[in-house]
Structure 1
Amino acid sequence: MKSNKTVGCPRCHSGKVVKNGKKKTGFQNLLCKDCSLQFQEEYLYWGADHKNKGLLKRMLLRGSGVRDCAVVLGISANCVLRSILSMGKASEIKPKRSSYHLVQIDEQWSYVGNKQRKVWLLYAICKQSGEIIAASWGKRDKRNIKALLKKLQGLEIGFFCTDHWGAFAQVLPKEKHIIGKKHTKKIEGVNTWFRTRLRRLARRTVCFSKKLIYHYSIMKTAIYERNIRSSYI
């Protein structure tokens, strides 16, 4: 007997879904006519299920580690790692506007590989909206600041607000540079948000990233999701 159940697209939730052949496993393949996503109603391997992929992203962005995600979702740790890389590639950090009056810049460190190896995130946010405009990773030095400024090229920026770290004064244009902790309260709150949301950024922990590529990918994903869907995470 034919089922009357309507299948919705897991990406755009459209009801315009049609059959699109069968997989080698024998499960029916479906195609969304609106967003062109191919998916199945049932999956032999849970890691391929789009619903599980959505849950995985929410878990990673809410403090769960790789092994926690694997155990809870019933998938392999390698599947979680592959998903982190895939999410990172799909997460492009792009400014929403062409001009910003006040841009705050700050840095924060985290462990990668071992507790003797610190990697610094240097990023810029819009003071008014909290949007993360650009980010750069590396050492705590002038080169990292220059790399961040390169990503801000083409934008009209009124003033840069930073703390008293001397490297900022050496790189940022003096006529646009405002120094003082009272001018960086917004971004300090974002620092707290990062450390609260992502377990790998906690200071006193053994749950740090083991490789840079995974660290960068999950950070890019967190920034991207924060910018486009702040209520999501």
Structure 2
Amino acid sequence: MAPAKSIDGLELDELCTYVGCKAQKVWLQLALCRRTRQVVAYALGCRSRRTARRLWRRLPPQYRRAWCYTDLWEAYRGLIPWRQHLAGYGRGPTNHVERFNATRRARIGRLVRKSLSFSRSWKLLDAVVKLFLHDYNATRKPT
């Protein structure tokens, strides 16, 4: 992952998947650097403020000062300092991370919305996501 620059911004978003059965939802939250398109941090958990906090703690310190673009999910409002938080829909505040979510769904079968394939355990899901993100970040050339 490339070091943060003062011009960097982050896009934060979440994606739903399942562990064990369709009744056990898991949310995959991630932060994507707008400049490099690399994934800076991710967290697995329920769709709660606690998981959003875990994502925020996993961000490298230099990225915690960057502009953060999110959707209107309320958990981000109490977490990201208001001076650097830009939330909303339209005009593309989270276009890159939404596109990345589509890429993940296409490349990782267990993340497809209407699929019969899903992870048997949290450990397996975490391993698959970690491997995919490592490979994805390695192929991105930071500018």
TM-score, length basis structure 1: 0.56
Structure 1's unaligned 5+ residue stretches are 1-94
The answer to whether residue 90 in structure 2 is matched with residue 184 in structure 1 is: no
Report the secondary structure of 1:97's partner residue: coil
Tell me what 1:116 maps to.
23
Q: How does 1:74-93 map to 2 (within 5 A)?
A: none
Structure 2's unaligned 5+ residue stretches are none
Which residue among 72, 77, 83 is the counterpart of 1:175? 83
Which residue among 88, 111, 114 is the counterpart of 1:204? 114
Quote the RMSD (CA, aligned, Å): 1.5
User: Would the aligned equivalents of 2:2 and 2:36 in 1 still touch at CA under 8 Å?
Assistant: no
In structure 1, give the amino acid aligned to 2:82. Answer: K
Report the secondary structure of 1:161's partner residue: strand
Larger gyration radius, structure 1 or structure 2 = 1
CA drift of 1:180 comes to 1.4
Alignment partners' CA distance in 2, 1:205 and 1:98: 37
Percentage identity across paired residues of the two chains: 27
Report the secondary structure of 1:171's partner residue: coil
Alignment partners' CA distance in 2, 1:193 and 1:203: 13
Which residue among 124, 132, 140 is the counterpart of 1:222? 132
Alignment partners' CA distance in 2, 1:199 and 1:122: 18
- Equivalent pairs, count: 137
In structure 2, give the amino acid aligned to 1:197. Answer: R
In structure 1, give the amino acid aligned to 2:136. Answer: R
In structure 2, give the amino acid aligned to 1:176. Answer: Q
Return the structure number with greater relative CO, CA threshold 8 A, min gap 6: 2
Alignment partners' CA distance in 1, 2:107 and 2:68: 26
CA drift of 1:151 comes to 1.1
Report the secondary structure of 1:196's partner residue: helix
The answer to whether residue 48 in structure 2 is matched with residue 141 in structure 1 is: yes
CA drift of 1:158 comes to 2.5
Alignment partners' CA distance in 2, 1:184 and 1:173: 18
Which residue among 57, 68, 71 is the counterpart of 1:163? 71
In structure 2, give the amino acid aligned to 1:229. Answer: T
Tell me what 2:2 maps to.
96
CA drift of 1:230 comes to 4.9
Report the secondary structure of 1:172's partner residue: coil
Alignment partners' CA distance in 2, 1:211 and 1:124: 23
In structure 1, give the amino acid aligned to 2:69. Answer: C
In structure 2, give the amino acid aligned to 1:216. Answer: D
Alignment partners' CA distance in 2, 1:153 and 1:225: 19
Report the secondary structure of 1:130's partner residue: coil
Alignment partners' CA distance in 1, 2:69 and 2:140: 23
Tell me what 1:62 maps to.
none
TM-score, length basis structure 2: 0.90
Alignment partners' CA distance in 2, 1:145 and 1:131: 19
User: Would the aligned equivalents of 2:34 and 2:96 in 1 still touch at CA under 8 Å?
Assistant: yes
Which stretches of structure 1, 4 residues or longer, exceed 6 Å deviation after superposition? none
